C-alpha cells in the first residue's frame, strides 16, 4: 500500500498515556500526540480542510497564492497542501515566533514576512493586517484566515473528535486543549459533547490573553492583554472559531510553567513536544488534581513537535536567561512588588481631571508618572517630562482635561516576567509597566525599580 501524496497521511494520531508527570493525580490522563502528522502538528488537519473547502467554493483556483497570518504550524500545513496541489504561499508571522518555524516555512518554498508582535491587531504592521493587505493586492490569492474560517473547527469536528471517541471507546470524561484560534478545542468539544453531554471541556489560556475573563464575565477586557512569550495559545482578539458555549472552564498558565512542563514531558515521558503542549498539560493537570476521579479519563491534545523550539525552551541558556528554571536567583515582577513592602501604592488620575491638578499630584507625591483611568479601565498615562515640554509650548494646557493630552496606557505584564523581559519592555516612550497581583491589585514598576532589583 502507498499514499498518492503527503497530505493523505494526515490524521489518525496516537493516544499515549502520561505516566510520570501525573504523579498524585487520580484517573487517567492521555495525550493526543499530533506531531505524528506529516507537518508535525495538528494544524495539518485544518489547513487541508480550509484549502479543500475553498476549492469547492471556487475561492481558491489553480495557480493561486495562499496568504495567511500564522504562528508557524498552520503555515506548515498550508505549505504541504500547496505543494501537493500546486499553489504558492506567503505567510506573515509575529516576531516572537521561533526562528526554526521561519526556517522550516522557507524550506517548504513559502515566502515569509516577519511582523512586530506588540502592536494591536488593527495596526497596519500587525501580521493580521499585513496578510489582509497582501490578499487585497495580489490577484488570484486566498486568505484562509484560520481565526474566523469555520473550516478550522470543522476539521477537528470531523477527524480529531471522532478519533478520540473511538480510541477511548467512548469512555472519555474530560477534554483539555490550549485555546488559540479555537479550532481544535471547540471542534473536538462540539463532537464529544454530542456523543456525551457530560464530558467536561477545559480550555488552557495564557496570562496576557483575554479568553478566561471573557468566558467568566462576558467582558472583553483590554487590560488583560499584555505581551507574553508562549506561542500558539491565547489571543488579544475573539476568533469566530472560539465557541465559548462548548468550553466549560478555563485555566491560565504562565510562560514559565508551560516551558518547564514542556521540558519535563521530553525528559520524563519521552515526548519531544512544543511549548504550548507543556502549557496544555500543566493547565490540564492543575484542573485534574482537584477534579478527576479514579475512573475518569482526560485527553489533552499536544499540538506540535519540539524541533520548532530548539533555540528557545530546549536551549538551556535561553531558559536560564528568561528565569525559566528552578533557580531563585532571577528577580520577577512579583519579587519587585513584594520587595517594596507595600510601598508600591499606585496613584491614578481620572481622564476628566485638569492637567494642572495632575501636576500638583505628581509634585505632592514625588512621582514622575501616573496611569490615566476611566472608571476601572486604564486608558492612558502622563509623565512629568513630557508635561513640562507641552506646558512650555502652550501654558494654557493646564486648564485642559488630562484625557486630551495623555499618552498611551502603560503595558501590563505577568507576575512571573523576569527582569530581562521587563527591561526589554521599557524604553524612551514607555518608562513604566503595570502588573496585577494575586488579589487583582495593580502595581507600577518603574525603571528605578528595575535598577534597584538588579543591584540586590
How many angstroms separate the CA atoms of 431 and 70, rounded? 31
All cell numbers assigned to 20: 510520570
Where do we find the cell 482635561? 401
Distances (CA, A) of 160 to 15, 173, 175, 201, 426: 11, 16, 12, 15, 43
Distances (CA, A) of 279 to 151, 237, 285, 286: 25, 20, 10, 11
* Known active-site residue 43: yes
Chain center to CA of 445: 23
Give the active site residue among 17, 32, 43, 240: 43
Residue 92 contacts residue 68 (beta carbons within 8 Å): yes
Q: DSSP string of 237-289? A: S--TT--GGG--EEEEE-HHHHHHHHHHHHHHH---B-HHHHHHHHHHHHHHH
Q: Compute how many other C-beta atoms are within 10 angstroms of the C-beta atom of residue 212.
A: 21
- Nearest-CA neighbor of 52 among 90, 80, 92, 32? 80
Which residue stretches of 141-274 are H helix?
Answer: 151-155, 161-167, 183-195, 211-217, 255-269
Q: What angle do CA 18, 23, 28 make, to 5 degrees?
A: 45
Residues acting as catalytic residues: 43
Amino acid at each position: 500500500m502507498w499514499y498518492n501524496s503527503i497530505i493523505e497521511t494526515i490524521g489518525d494520531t496516537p493516544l499515549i498515556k502520561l505516566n510520570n508527570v501525573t504523579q498524585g493525580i487520580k484517573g487517567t490522563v492521555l495525550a493526543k500526540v499530533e506531531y505524528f502528522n506529516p507537518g508535525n502538528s495538528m494544524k495539518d488537519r485544518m489547513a487541508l480542510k480550509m484549502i479543500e473547502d475553498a476549492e469547492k467554493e471556487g475561492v481558491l483556483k489553480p495557480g493561486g497564492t495562499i496568504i495567511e497570518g500564522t504562528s508557524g504550524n498552520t503555515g506548515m500545513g498550508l505549505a504541504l497542501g500547496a505543494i501537493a496541489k500546486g499553489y504558492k504561499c506567503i505567510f506573515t508571522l509575529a516576531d516572537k515566533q521561533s526562528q526554526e518555524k521561519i526556517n522550516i516555512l522557507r524550506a517548504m518554498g513559502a515566502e515569509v514576512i516577519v511582523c512586530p508582535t506588540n502592536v494591536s491587531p488593527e495596526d497596519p504592521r500587525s501580521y493580521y493586517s499585513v496578510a489582509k493587505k497582501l490578499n487585497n493586492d495580489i490577484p488570484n490569492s486566498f486568505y484562509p484566515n484560520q481565526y474566523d474560517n469555520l473550516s478550522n473547527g470543522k476539521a477537528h469536528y470531523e477527524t480529531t473528535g471522532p478519533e478520540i471517541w473511538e480510541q477511548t471507546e467512548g469512555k472519555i470524561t474530560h477534554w483539555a486543549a490550549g485555546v488559540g484560534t479555537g479550532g481544535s478545542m471547540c471542534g473536538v468539544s462540539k463532537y464529544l459533547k454530542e456523543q456525551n453531554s457530560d464530558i467536561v471541556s477545559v480550555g488552557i489560556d495564557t496570562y496576557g490573553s483575554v479568553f478566561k475573563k471573557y468566558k467568566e464575565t462576558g467582558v472583553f477586557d483590554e487590560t488583560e492583554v499584555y505581551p507574553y512569550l508562549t506561542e500558539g495559545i491565547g489571543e488579544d482578539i475573539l476568533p469566530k472559531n472560539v465557541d465559548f458555549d462548548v468550553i466549560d472552564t478555563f485555566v491560565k498558565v504562565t510562560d514559565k510553567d508551560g516551558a518547564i512542563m514542556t521540558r519535563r514531558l521530553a525528559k520524563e515521558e519521552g515526548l519531544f513536544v512544543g511549548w504550548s503542549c507543556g502549557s496544555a498539560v500543566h493547565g490540564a493537570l492543575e484542573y485534574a488534581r482537584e477534579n478527576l476521579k479514579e475512573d475518569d479519563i482526560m485527553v489533552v491534545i499536544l499540538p506540535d513537535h519540539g524541533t520548532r523550539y530548539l533555540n528557545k525552551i530546549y536551549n538551556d541558556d535561553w531558559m536560564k536567561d528568561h528565569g525559566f528554571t528552578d533557580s531563585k536567583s532571577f528577580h520577577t515582577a512579583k519579587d519587585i512588588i513584594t520587595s517594596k513592602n507595600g510601598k508600591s501604592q499606585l496613584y491614578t488620575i481620572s481622564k476628566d481631571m485638569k492637567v494642572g491638578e495632575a501636576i500638583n499630584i505628581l509634585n505632592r507625591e514625588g512621582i514622575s508618572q501616573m496611569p490615566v483611568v476611566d472608571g476601572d479601565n486604564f486608558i492612558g498615562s502622563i509623565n512629568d517630562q513630557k508635561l513640562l515640554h507641552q506646558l512650555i509650548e502652550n501654558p494654557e494646557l493646564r486648564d485642559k482635561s488630562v484625557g486630551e493630552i495623555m499618552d498611551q496606557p502603560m503595558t501590563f505584564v505577568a507576575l512571573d516576567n523576569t527582569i530581562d523581559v521587563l527591561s526589554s519592555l521599557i524604553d524612551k516612550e514607555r518608562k513604566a509597566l503595570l502588573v496585577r497581583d494575586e488579589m487583582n491589585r495593580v502595581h507600577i514598576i518603574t525603571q528605578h525599580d528595575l535598577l534597584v532589583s538588579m543591584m540586590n
